[in-house]
A and B are shown apart, each in its own frame.
Chain A
């Protein structure tokens, strides 16, 4: 009994901190969902775009630029990175995943170039979270309010966009590019713009993260993609993905649930180094679930031989 109580106490104690963190990271999950689900363009750029946003923000903060401008510049830098990935795929017919890996690898060097060193402390610099004067130790109300408001605004804006004439056209590109083209939609423009926007969200998330944690690090993106994917899977399992509303809500709901789960596992005594293995196994299980269900039917030809 004592153990369970201890676990619950420490879990509840860090709940608000985790919530603040998950609201910031929800933008990465959004940046994974948009190419993956809306454009049918599985993309890995976010693993490089997230630290890109962080590094850009770190350098600018250190130079005394206002925190909001930092986020706007990070957004623009992420947009450019995403556009490059989409362009590499479209122009050279390289697989989307490989294009993403290329971009993310190159971004690592670019991020180092931007910062000039592997990490940079910006502790004490003004942040966007300063504008809500409610902070007290252990309960980051200002972060929850600012990140939550941003999430709300982005969600509403995207929901409205995907219902407009242009937004419907972008979704058509993901659903059936041949058909979209035959209906007069510029597939290149929609793909480049869409993937760019997604990476822009990932980069903004990195910028917010730097302002939240007080330092930038070139390795801050390590594993962010698999975490985001796990969060997206949970979100889609909980709120679904049948309609635009649900599909857009899934990244936000998923991020909040996923990071609480992680924090619960840590509170329950799971060694932090095992976290990536656990996350990977979880994503694998979520992706494998449909095919496991299917193989219960008749004629499991190859599986039978393998066993």
Chain B
């Protein structure tokens, strides 16, 4: 499904503050797999997601989605295969447009946009139904501008927009980190329900170790632009928060010694 082959990206190459963001990172995710990506700040989690979505152009390496090489494909072309929910609720929605218009944009993600009327009765009815799953009352606010919604409502909308149309690959970039605990729980539950119901291949970045333990079929820990640890199958079922944090401390100790 997703195949990253020795991806390498260096920022500020040849300058004093040269930074290796991805250092020959290789990772593959089978169809239907739910991968949880953890790692300390600067480990390369966001760079990896950006490289998959196309926002970051690799120095070397390859990215394959569904067997097709997308390494040279621009963001908007890759969007037909993958959907993404950003950490910042503001980034995933168009603030000055209505809820229904945002849903329409997501609806057309993998289709050719025509000169037919965008919002019609059929579509509005289906948006109302899909939004009602959240239980946030968004289904009655289709004509509300998105900038009038709360951060949690916006993020929930982003999620519904992303899972609609069953993308080949769903990227979640710390998508509950900016929300209050209760809303974060609602969004997380909705995510898990959607991922299970639609059998979506998913890659979720999180700093919440409890989420890493509770959800997903595989934990991938990044460090210095490489995969440091992968926990799958039986082992994944037994792993605890303490175990995961242990791997962080190894690195922290090393950093302390180095400094």
Q: Decide if B94 touches A169 in the complex (CB within 8 Å).
A: no
Which residues of chain A have C-beta atoms less than 8 A from B77's C-beta? 184
Alpha-carbon separation in the docked complex, A172 to B118 (Å): 13
In the complex, A183 has a CB within 8 A of chain B: yes
Q: Decide if A164 touches B75 in the complex (CB within 8 Å).
A: no
Which residues of chain B have C-beta atoms less than 8 A from A183's C-beta? 79, 105-106, 108-109, 161
Which single member of A165, A171, A174, A184 contacts B79 (CB below 8 Å)?
Answer: A184
Number of residues of chain A lying within 8 A (CB) of chain B: 23
Number of residues of chain B lying within 8 A (CB) of chain A: 31
Q: Decide if B115 touches A166 in the complex (CB within 8 Å).
A: yes
In the complex, B76 has a CB within 8 A of chain A: yes
In the complex, A10 has a CB within 8 A of chain B: no
Alpha-carbon separation in the docked complex, A21 to B53 (Å): 50
In the complex, A63 has a CB within 8 A of chain B: no
Which single member of A161, A166, A167, A180 contacts B94 (CB below 8 Å)?
Answer: A180
In the complex, A186 has a CB within 8 A of chain B: yes
In the complex, B104 has a CB within 8 A of chain A: yes
Alpha-carbon separation in the docked complex, A186 to B73 (Å): 12
Contact A181 to B118, CB < 8 A, known contacts A169-B108, A172-B94, A176-B91: no
Nearest Cβ in chain B — how far from A185, in angstroms?
Answer: 6
B-contact bits for A166-193, CB 8 A (1 contact / 0 none): 1111011011101111111111000000
In the complex, A163 has a CB within 8 A of chain B: yes
Selected A-B contacts with CB under 8 Å, 20 pairs: A164-B114, A164-B115, A164-B116, A165-B113, A165-B118, A166-B113, A166-B114, A168-B101, A168-B113, A176-B93, A176-B95, A179-B105, A182-B53, A182-B75, A183-B79, A183-B108, A184-B77, A184-B80, A184-B109, A187-B76
Using a CB–CB cutoff of 8 Å, the interface residues on chain A facing chain B are 161, 163-169, 171-172, 174-176, 178-187
